[in-house]
Amino acid sequence: MVSSEKEEALLLRMQELGIRDGDIIEKFIRSSGKGGQKVNKTASCVYLKHVPTGIEVKLQQERSQALNRFLARRLLVQKIEDMILGRESERIKAIEKLKRQKRKRSKRAKEKILRDKKRQAEKKKLRQNIDLESEP
């Protein structure tokens, strides 16, 4: 499922950060949700815990256990890297951006948007009248 190049890149990244396989507790759990009989019979959900940092990851994104294992390790490494380097991760930035976008607008901002929409609609109306007059 996962190419050997991606596996090697992940192992190299783990070595650079000083993450050892012995420091990771790995468990396989039965998934939940959609999938019916397949999900109930196979333990495709992967749980990882990095003991020194206490960071935990639980992933059941795909139906394949091997693929979930790779993706969970990649996510764990990303979280550890963010913690070590002290930088804000791209994922956290994306979540914050979504929160800002979904936040309720103030009354003043709504009024401004409606004013601008109305102004644009008037411009469009003026253009339509010119087009209709020039055709005949």
Q: What is the mean pLDDT of residues 69-94?
A: 82
In this model, does residue 57 exceed pLDDT 90? Answer: yes
Mean pLDDT of the chain: 85
pLDDT confidence tier of residue 134, bands split at 50, 70 and 90: low
Residue 53, φ and ψ in degrees, nearest 5: -100, -20
- Alpha-carbon distance of 48 to 35, in angstroms, equals 22
Q: What is the mean pLDDT of residues 111-129?
A: 90
- Alpha-carbon distance of 76 to 55, in angstroms, equals 7
What pLDDT, in 10s, does the model give residues 20-29?
989 999 999 8
Place of tokens 């800002």: 100
Q: Which of 35-39, 59-63, 73-77 has the highest mean pLDDT?
A: 73-77
